Amino acid sequence: MSLNISIPNTRQKTIRDLAVQAEHRRNPRLSATQQDELLTRTKSLLKTQNAVLVAHYYVDAELQDLAEETGGFVGDSLEMARFGLENDADTIIVAGVRFMGETAKILSPEKRVLMIETSAECSLDLACPGDEFNEFCDMHPDRTVVVYANTSAEVKARADWVATSSIALDLIKDLSTRGEKILWAPDKFLGAYVQKETAADMVLWQGSCIVHEDFKATALEALKQHLPDAKVLVHPESPGPVIALADVVGSTTQIINAARDLDADTFIVATERGIFHKMQQAAPGKTFIAAPNAGEGAMCESCAECPWMKLNDLPRLEHTLKTGKNEILIDETVRKQAARSITRMVEFNTRDRTA
């Protein structure tokens, strides 16, 4: 069954406009000397404040390297949440987008959680306002509510489960086997992919990621013909026709592992290109090419970059550490409700890994 809710065109335009504004707010690249000086200062600030930097694969390479060099972490949203929960630092600095900072605070309420940039949004989060989502849930009281991690604390508070792309298939398959009908939000492409693979009874919210939805199947097919030996790695937030061309469909971590493990020298990658840094570390000597996203509706030609992720940079990190601004605060009632569904996610993944 598929009964879906549409996203107003005006909201889609607003999200695109906000993305363009974020692109214009990027700081210029630093010189090598400036970067070295900033790295020295931020390392000192992290140490004196007993702060740990947690970075997503999509942020720039210098932040990923800084996180790992200073006892922090680089990973996908589920791994970031778990690290923040288990680490004993007093302060967690999140290099990512807002929902990641909220997730860290939900799981670690006693810790100070700071964002490098609080205006770093996610189009999936923006596409699913809490009040409208609550109304949608009220229309389907018989369904188990599963929301993607890319959602606000308020939306997570209404959910029965939170899922990441790394566990979505296993989780929905498990729930469907138990006879549960699913209300899924907000990513329509990931939801459709999971629905197809599991045959679950799902109602889908119709949000999308502005990076992944721009990948073009026709152009990708042409590139595959030009590079017949290349393997195609696709994140499931991508449109169905793009997913259909993939050799591997998976989360960011699964894509990195595939690049390392597959017997191929060249990979076409349909996800945010910040991941290339970690892919090159995992599979040195291999070649990675961004999947094409040129064409009508695309933000640029083969950029595959999230403008909000790119707001995370060293100057903003230093400013956050110096001022203590950009702290994530969540209403305690909302936090406790959201913690229930997020904890279920963490425990399900742990169970899946140890089974």
Indicate the pLDDT class of residue 300, thresholds 50, 70 and 90: very low
Cα dihedral 181/174/133/85 (nearest 10): 160
Whether 354 shows a pLDDT value over 50: the answer reads no
**Contacts of residue 63, Cβ cutoff 8 Å, sequence gap at least 6:** 53, 55, 95, 116, 312, 313, 314, 317
Which of these, 240, 210, 227, lies nearest to 305 by C-alpha position?
210
Residues 315, 240: Cα–Cα separation, whole Å: 38
Indicate the pLDDT class of residue 155, thresholds 50, 70 and 90: very high
What pLDDT score does 1 carry? 40
User: Taking the CA of residue 172 as centre, how many other CA atoms within 13 Å lie in the half-sphere pointing to its CB?
Assistant: 31
**Contacts of residue 222, Cβ cutoff 8 Å, sequence gap at least 6:** 292
Largest CA distance in the chain: 60
Other C-beta atoms lying within 10 Å of the C-beta of residue 246: 21
Interval 116-135: pLDDT, tens: 999 999 999 999 999 999 99
Query: pTM of the full predicted structure?
Result: 0.92
Interval 312-344: pLDDT, tens: 999 999 999 999 999 999 999 999 999 999 999
What pLDDT score does 78 carry? 78
The answer to whether 172 and 145 have CB atoms below 8 angstroms apart is no
248 three-state secondary structure: strand
Q: Domains, the chain, ranges and CATH?
A: 14-121+308-330 (3.40.50.10800), 124-210+333-354 (3.40.50.10800), 212-290 (3.40.50.10800)
Indicate the pLDDT class of residue 4, thresholds 50, 70 and 90: low
Whether 256 shows a pLDDT value over 90: the answer reads yes
User: 63-77, 187-201, 286-300, 327-341 — which is least confidently predicted?
Assistant: 286-300
Q: Rounded mean pLDDT of the chain?
A: 93
